[in-house]
Chains A and B, each alone.
Chain A
Amino acid sequence: MDERDIQLGNLLAETLRAFDEGRSADVDRLLDSAGDDRLELVEMVELSLTLHGPASPSSEAIEALAMTPAFDARSWPEILTEARHAQGIKRPALVTALAERLGISSPAGEERVRERYHEIETGQLDPRRISTSVVDALGDVLGGMRDLLAATRLNPVGPLSPSVSFKRDGFDDLDGNVMMEAMMASPSEPTADERRVDELFGV
């Protein structure tokens, strides 16, 4: 018992030092070396850190961290619209590229991708529901935005404004009548690609 307390006391001291120095791999190695007492050692580390109280980070560290994707407070509709406009990508071109990356090749499947993307960009479809493969594909299509999209998909999309909900800019080939006819048409059995798209978008 005494010997074990000495071992665990030494491990605690070493683990806290590794924590202080940001050596995560060493922290994990030291914790694992406690064997069955690992959880107790972690709890002692937590208690020790709690007793020390919160850190006082430098303004440089705060500003550097604040600029990382996790802290971006914008919603997906804002991020996607800004990114698309900044890169001069029209939605039809984006949809074609997105469908290609998702392995959707049929016209019906691509049309379903267009519908679902429109719903995301206008805040009608919650990005929390879509699969990680869509997040990754969209991030690639928009150019190196995987991390940003993954980090911001939990941000609420907020209440929709009427001007956003039904604005379909970027789809020059569509007009209101075409949309209305499509909506009024009797529903048919979805194709395999359409079902696949709905599954990917969490619908």
Chain B
Amino acid sequence: MDDPSVYDANLVRRARVAHGTGDLRTAQNLAAELWLRYEKQARAISRKRARGNEAEEVLGHLQLRFIKWVYFRQDEPRNMIGLLNQMALYAYGDVQRHEASQPVTVEEIEDYRQPHTDSTMSTILDRAEIDQLMSVLSDRERLIIERELADVPDSEVAAELEIEPNNLHQIRWRALKRMREAADQQEWGS
């Protein structure tokens, strides 16, 4: 399977070419595909900024910013998770300004030049980096994460390891924490 970042970059480039040549239908389809690839992650990211209905509003503004970025920006596509995290900061500001009936400002729409730095996820770009993070795990932890990535039901994994589902969830939680700590260290070390 293609590297996701290469696939994403290709989608963005094709969308911009289509938009530039007036083929708006194609541009819309390509932008929609890119959004749907990361919609779940965007939902989670919006919930880092707000709760409940307000999180849904942040998500709406995040989607708008993401689409405008695809159509109208010139910068090269990069890690979509990092980009979404950065945009979510501005999207939260959009919600606050909307509630105060204030217009958005040009600068806040167009300023995505600074790389996002406060998200662990910004460092995870491809499978090789995931494998590197998984090297900090024990054999059992790694097996649990690998089974999860393969969408194996928890009941089957628990049976395979002869443990209770509660125990499985606990081990997975700790494994993810260790991976996040490892990613943080990589980020600080880079």
A-side interface residues toward B, CB under 8 Å? Answer: 2, 5-6, 8-10, 12-13, 19, 24, 27-28, 31-32, 39, 42-57, 61-63, 65-67, 70-74, 126, 128-133, 151, 154-156, 202
Rounded to whole angstroms, the CA-CA distance of A144 and B38 in the bound complex is 30
Rounded to whole angstroms, the CA-CA distance of A55 and B48 in the bound complex is 21
Q: Is the CB of A42 within 8 A of B44?
A: yes
In whole Å, how far is B63's beta carbon from the nearest beta carbon of chain A? 6
Q: Is the CB of A27 within 8 A of B47?
A: yes
Contacts of A8 in B (CB 8 A): 173
Encode B59-89 as 1/0 by CB contact (under 8 A) with A: 0100111011001100000001100000000
Known: A13-B154, A27-B47. 13 other contacts (CB 8 A): A12-B176, A19-B43, A28-B55, A39-B48, A43-B120, A47-B176, A47-B180, A53-B4, A54-B4, A54-B41, A55-B38, A57-B32, A128-B103
Q: Is the CB of B170 within 8 A of A54?
A: no
Contact (A126, B106) CB under 8 Å given A54-B8, A54-B37, A62-B29: yes
In whole Å, how far is B150's beta carbon from the nearest beta carbon of chain A? 10
Rounded to whole angstroms, the CA-CA distance of A57 and B183 in the bound complex is 28
- A interface, over-half SS: helix
Q: Is the CB of A155 within 8 A of B72?
A: yes
Contacts of B68 in A (CB 8 A): 154-155
Rounded to whole angstroms, the CA-CA distance of A128 and B103 in the bound complex is 6
Contacts of B172 in A (CB 8 A): 9, 12-13
Q: Is the CB of A55 within 8 A of B37?
A: yes
Rounded to whole angstroms, the CA-CA distance of A71 and B174 in the bound complex is 40
Rounded to whole angstroms, the CA-CA distance of A57 and B122 in the bound complex is 23
Chain A CB within 8 A of B156 CB: no
Sample of 26 A–B contacts (CB below 8 Å): A6-B166, A9-B169, A9-B173, A12-B176, A19-B43, A19-B44, A24-B43, A28-B55, A32-B51, A42-B48, A45-B44, A45-B47, A47-B176, A47-B179, A49-B44, A50-B41, A50-B121, A52-B149, A55-B38, A63-B32, A70-B60, A128-B103, A129-B103, A131-B101, A154-B65, A202-B103
Nearest B-chain residue to A12, judged by Cβ:
B173
Rounded to whole angstroms, the CA-CA distance of A67 and B43 in the bound complex is 21
